[in-house]
Amino acid sequence: MARPTVILHNMNAPLRLVWLAIAATSTSVAQADIAKTLTPLYTSLNEAVKRNDDKAITKWVRTHTTPDFKYVSTEKSTYDRKGFIEGMVQQVQATQRVLSSTFKIQKVTGRGNSATLTVSSNFVGMVMLTGAPAKLVNQSTSNDLWVRTGNVWKLKSILGVKDSVTINGRKL
């Protein structure tokens, strides 16, 4: 990597600006390609969440995460892949009906065989709370680290950045 830096310092100013513009453009194209590749994976998980389908969610996690996958919550609790699946299944079982579930890739950093995606998600569902239905709303943001081996992308970790949960409009 030192060679481009040396070359960059030896270039005249206009040529250096052109080189920097080309490098920035190729990085943004690579990041756009990563987002384009991973969006269908998020979509398929989101569809399983909308169906409240614990078997499909479990299969997605086993298929699209690395064996050493880690989830770190906003409270800094850490779960391995098995613990993450168990938590997802518990959420499905507690949810009586999914009203809506969305995700959005906010930002992609990195390129090549590793990328961190900042992802926001919103979930609205009905849960039973002390025998009565209650509306649960979860809005969260995470930094998701993906790694590529060959042509296959796998989710290596999720780091919770922000999480807001309300039940019947009251913050938890």
Alpha carbon separation from 163 to 82, 110, 142, 147, 171 (Å, rounded): 22, 24, 9, 24, 11
pLDDT at 150 over 70: yes
Q: What is the CATH number of the domain that holds 158?
A: 3.10.450.50
In which band, very low, low, confident or very high, does the pLDDT at 8 lie, cut at 50, 70 and 90?
A: very low
Among 19-28, 53-62, 134-143, 151-160, the range scoring the smallest mean pLDDT is 19-28
Strand partners, 128: 133
In which band, very low, low, confident or very high, does the pLDDT at 19 lie, cut at 50, 70 and 90?
A: very low
**With the C-alpha atoms ordered 41, 144, 50, 53, is the resulting torsion angle positive or negative?**
positive
Instruction: Name the residue among 123, 128, 151 with its Cα closest to residue 45.
Output: 123
Residue 97: helix, strand or coil by DSSP?
strand
In which band, very low, low, confident or very high, does the pLDDT at 15 lie, cut at 50, 70 and 90?
A: low
Instruction: Name the residue among 146, 48, 59 with its Cα closest to residue 103.
Output: 48
- Looking up tokens 């690395």 gives 66
Q: pLDDT value at position 25?
A: 40
Number of domains, the chain: 1
Q: Tell me the whole-structure pTM to 2 decimals.
A: 0.81
Task: Give the type of residue at 153.
Answer: W
Identify the domain containing residue 126 by its residue range.
2-171
Mean pLDDT of 71-81: 96
Mean pLDDT of 79-89: 96
Mean pLDDT of 92-99: 94
Looking at per-residue pLDDT, the higher value among 23 and 61 belongs to 61
